[in-house]
Amino acid sequence: MPLSDLKLKKIYRTKQDNVTDDFLIPALKESYTYDRGSGFFTLDSLANIADGLIPFIQHGGVVRVVTSVQLSDADVAIINNGLQLQQTIVIEKIHQKIEEDIENEDTLMKLDFITNLIAAGILTIKIAYLPDGIYHEKIGVMTDKDGGKLYFSGSNNATVSGLNKNWETIMLLTSWWGDEEEIKEQQAYFDHLWANDLEGLEVMPFPEAEQKNLIRKYKVSSDVRTAIQRLQNKSKKRTKKKDLYDYQKIAVRQFLDNDGNHFYEMATGTGKTFTAIKSIIALHEQKEQLSAVVIVPQIDLQAQWAAAFEEEGIKPLLLGGYANANETKYNFGAFIINSLSDNKLNVVIATYDTFFAKFIKQCAPIGKQAVFVVDEAHNLSPNQIRQLPNSFVYRLGLSATPERYSQQESDKIVNYFTRGKIETYKYTIDEAIENGFLSHYMYTPVFVNISDSDFISYQNYTKQVIVALNQEPVDEVLVKDILTKRSSVIKKSNSKLEKLEDMVRSQNGKKYNFKNSVVYCGHGKDYETEGSIIDSVTRILALEGHYSVSQFTSHTADRARVLREFEDENYDVLVAIKCFDEGVDVPKLDKIYIMASDALSRQTIQRRGRVLRTCTETGKRIAYIYDFVALPPISVTDGIGVSNLVVNEMKRAKEYARLADNKDDIMEEMISIMKMYGVNEEDLENEFNAESE
């Protein structure tokens, strides 16, 4: 039937419509041509619309794709395979497959469906190249047997995420809705694009682009210096195995000197995991028999540790996390047997929950010849701290800072690992920046005056804290609960969403740029929309800023894939709550926007370290931190809660500003604002004002 008979909408949004099932597949089934221009393109996106491609191919349809030079290694290999097959007799073969397996999409996939589309000339891919940028359009044109045409454009790239996971919008024009002239212009434009007939843009066949070495996974180096750095870095990786830096060697030596017991307090991005693994290996070299039990708070860290061990030629076993119940049971049995029967270094990596619930007692038999490693040890719950096993002779704790809300808990964690015989090994963020192991950064406090209603709530909680602190004895649990609720008022303030919207809209003026950034927001509901705050943030970035956005939370199904796509620049922005604080290594990241914060300094250290990782591939030399700093309503400068709010927020801002390249300018601005509220810089040293989460 003609395309005009389909019930199509003028606008599709990925989180409200199934773009693939409701639009692309039905339209392809009735089309004879499909022209697609997409800055980012993956063959998986075509595989996902195979139900539409099969009938499209049966009636002689052809697909023309123009994309940028940024393709994955896997896609390049498939395209090359298809082009090689083109030299053989494959056209009959593919038609035979389509006739035999028309109802079996899985079989079509197994028969290298996409490869054969390329081989048969049904799918042709050309590469658009700019020496100083990338081709970044997202357009498409379809034509049916009667000449009916539809044109679509929007924010979607031709990737799986662009079609299914991001918050994206597609708008349609059709010849039967009176848009015929506009579509003719767009079809003519694509034909010129395909013919390499546009000034300033070079479009070439895939083989020619690859022959010119234009195909690449990441964008071109920004300058000669960066290109040289990348080449040198690759050469080093080929000729020299990764080794410890001097500051890491000191940590390993102290660990060995203290009989295999220590605590590494190392800034995020300075190689805690690598240093710990080298420590384990060094201890194993001293002992006839050694095993390692590593526990981590979340599965992202489990994968990171596993990869780091494998780089050292050690294949660890997993308990919980990425290992299902049966795999976990089998892996633990194999680990115990190997630990008692051979001299090689045996390693298991467990999540906290799995270890404390199932294996803490079962590890006792190997404790005398095993090292117990706890990553991000500050995340241990009070109950887990009480359960820390005494059976392990060797112990190693890791954290950017072991700070807890209770100093007693902090001391207990550290003393468990050091046995009270040695100070924690510290390598601070100050040292890492000064010595070039972390990048420099610019800090911008984004001052936000909260609403009158939010401030009234804040004042009420402040009054409750004052009353609670004047009770004898002081109920610490009650005080913490009130502080948590008061802090939540600031994290969830709708004024921050309004400010974000203003910032996103100002991007045309280039004041703020959210590309290659992570936005940290509060949890819970946006009381203006009754939806979640993270959904409101995502909506603002996607719809107002036209950014490609993905959420990164504990509910994200495949966080590792999301990170890969973010690094491949398929996403402009990741929106997170806390999940991005730990266990995530994205050196290319160069901007963070902090809409919600805890007052614990460890979160400040973690988030700052996350964006300060150096990246030789991009030549990143400086990072940018934007921090939403809450202030009382514009008309309020004194009264209950005013100085308290200003002090709490400015404490964090001062810590971020302390190491920033623009420290002097920022501190001058902050001091000027604090004076408006009767707050002095000395007031920021007051211990009590710290917020709880």
| Last residue within a domain, chosen from 433, 462, 489 | 433
Q: What is the pLDDT of residue 104?
A: 36
In a domain, 226, yes or no: no
Concatenating the DSSP letter of every residue in 404-453 gives -SSHHHHHHHHHHHHTTSSPPEEE-HHHHHHTTSB-EEEEEEEEEEPPHH
The CA distance from 199 to 402, in Å, is: 58
State CA 142 to chain mean position distance.
Answer: 35
More confident residue, 565 or 170: 170
| Percent of the chain at pLDDT exceeding 70 | 78
DSSP bridge pairs for 41: 158
The CA distance from 429 to 410, in Å, is: 20
Of 453, 498, 450, 445, residue with least CA distance to 630? 450
Query: Residues with Cβ < 8 Å from 466, sequence gap 6 or more?
Result: none
Averaged pLDDT of the chain: 81
In a domain, 270, yes or no: yes
Q: What is the pLDDT of residue 525?
A: 76
Concatenating the DSSP letter of every residue in 149-178 gives EEEEEES--BSHIIIIIS--EEEEEEGGGT
In a domain, 464, yes or no: yes
Judge if 68 and 46 occupy the same domain.
Answer: yes
Which CATH number characterizes residue 167's domain? 3.30.870.10
In a domain, 230, yes or no: no
In a domain, 522, yes or no: yes
More confident residue, 504 or 563: 504
**What are phi and psi for residue 582, nearest 5 degrees?**
-130, 150
Does position 346 have pLDDT exceeding 90, yes or no? Answer: yes
Both tokens of 255, joined, read 């660990």
Q: Report, as an integer, the average pLDDT of 334-361.
A: 90
Judge if 500 and 606 occupy the same domain.
Answer: yes
DSSP letter (8 states) at residue 488:
H
Q: What is the pLDDT of residue 103?
A: 35
Judge if 447 and 418 occupy the same domain.
Answer: no
Judge if 160 and 293 occupy the same domain.
Answer: no
Tell if the pTM clears 0.85, that is, is over it. Answer: no
Judge if 400 and 548 occupy the same domain.
Answer: no
Concatenating the DSSP letter of every residue in 211-270 gives HTT--BSSPPPSSHHHHHHHHHHHHHHHHS-----HHHHHHHHHHHHTTSEEEEEE-TTS
The CA distance from 436 to 248, in Å, is: 14
Q: What is the pLDDT of residue 163?
A: 55
Q: What is the pLDDT of residue 552?
A: 82
pLDDT digits (tens, 9 = 90+) for 623-682: 999 999 999 999 899 999 999 999 999 999 999 999 999 999 999 999 999 999 999 988
Does position 19 have pLDDT exceeding 90, yes or no? Answer: no
**What are phi and psi for residue 413, nearest 5 degrees?**
-60, -50
Does position 428 have pLDDT exceeding 70, yes or no? Answer: yes
pLDDT digits (tens, 9 = 90+) for 461-495: 999 999 999 888 989 889 989 998 998 999 989 99
Both tokens of 421, joined, read 């015989």
Of 483, 443, 432, 435, residue with least CA distance to 462? 483
- Cβ proximity of 225 and 70 under 8 Å: no
425-427 β-sheet, strand order = 317-319, 346-351, 291-296, 370-374, 394-399, 261-266, 425-427
Q: Report, as an integer, the average pLDDT of 396-418.
A: 82
* Lowest pLDDT segment from 34-38, 387-391, 614-618: 614-618
Q: Report, as an integer, the average pLDDT of 75-82.
A: 57
Both tokens of 269, joined, read 């991005």
Of 569, 677, 668, residue with least CA distance to 617? 569
| Percent of the chain at pLDDT exceeding 90 | 42
CA atoms within 13 A on the CB side of 377: 33
Does position 596 have pLDDT exceeding 70, yes or no? Answer: yes
In a domain, 314, yes or no: yes
**What are phi and psi for residue 320, nearest 5 degrees?**
70, -170
Domain holding 107, by residue range, is 3-211
Judge if 28 and 120 occupy the same domain.
Answer: yes
pLDDT digits (tens, 9 = 90+) for 240-294: 457 899 999 999 999 999 999 999 999 888 889 999 999 999 999 998 789 999 9
What's the full length of the chain, in residues?
Answer: 693
Judge if 344 and 418 occupy the same domain.
Answer: yes
In a domain, 36, yes or no: yes
Q: What is the pLDDT of residue 159?
A: 53
How distant, in Å, are the alpha carbons of 90, 105, 605 from that of 558? Answer: 36, 24, 26
Judge if 147 and 292 occupy the same domain.
Answer: no
| Last residue within a domain, chosen from 188, 211, 234 | 211
pLDDT digits (tens, 9 = 90+) for 535-573: 999 989 988 888 888 888 767 666 677 777 787 777 889
Does position 161 have pLDDT exceeding 90, yes or no? Answer: no
Query: Residues with Cβ < 8 Å from 597, sequence gap 6 or more?
Result: 491, 520, 603, 604, 627, 652
What sign for the dihedral angle of Cα 219, 225, 229, 231?
positive
- Cβ proximity of 521 and 534 under 8 Å: yes
State CA 290 to chain mean position distance.
Answer: 35
Judge if 426 and 494 occupy the same domain.
Answer: no
- Cβ proximity of 325 and 342 under 8 Å: no
Q: What is the pLDDT of residue 579?
A: 60
Range with top average pLDDT, 42-51, 52-61, 104-113, 553-562: 52-61
Judge if 163 and 267 occupy the same domain.
Answer: no
| Last residue within a domain, chosen from 378, 412, 433 | 433
Q: What is the pLDDT of residue 109?
A: 39
Judge if 100 and 71 occupy the same domain.
Answer: yes
Query: Residues with Cβ < 8 Å from 531, sequence gap 6 or more?
Result: 525
In a domain, 178, yes or no: yes
CA atoms within 13 A on the CB side of 25: 14
The CA distance from 50 to 56, in Å, is: 9
Does position 91 have pLDDT exceeding 70, yes or no? Answer: no
Q: Fill in the amino acid letter for 110.
A: K
Which CATH number characterizes residue 352's domain? 3.40.50.300
pLDDT digits (tens, 9 = 90+) for 304-321: 899 899 889 899 999 998
Does position 397 have pLDDT exceeding 70, yes or no? Answer: yes
Q: What is the pLDDT of residue 240?
A: 46
The CA distance from 34 to 53, in Å, is: 10
Judge if 393 and 261 occupy the same domain.
Answer: yes
Q: What is the pLDDT of residue 512?
A: 87
Measured CA angle at 147 (ends 146, 151), to 5 deg: 130
Q: How many CB atoms lie under 10 A from the CB of residue 550?
A: 24
| Number of domains composing the chain | 3
Measured CA angle at 674 (ends 466, 686), to 5 deg: 45
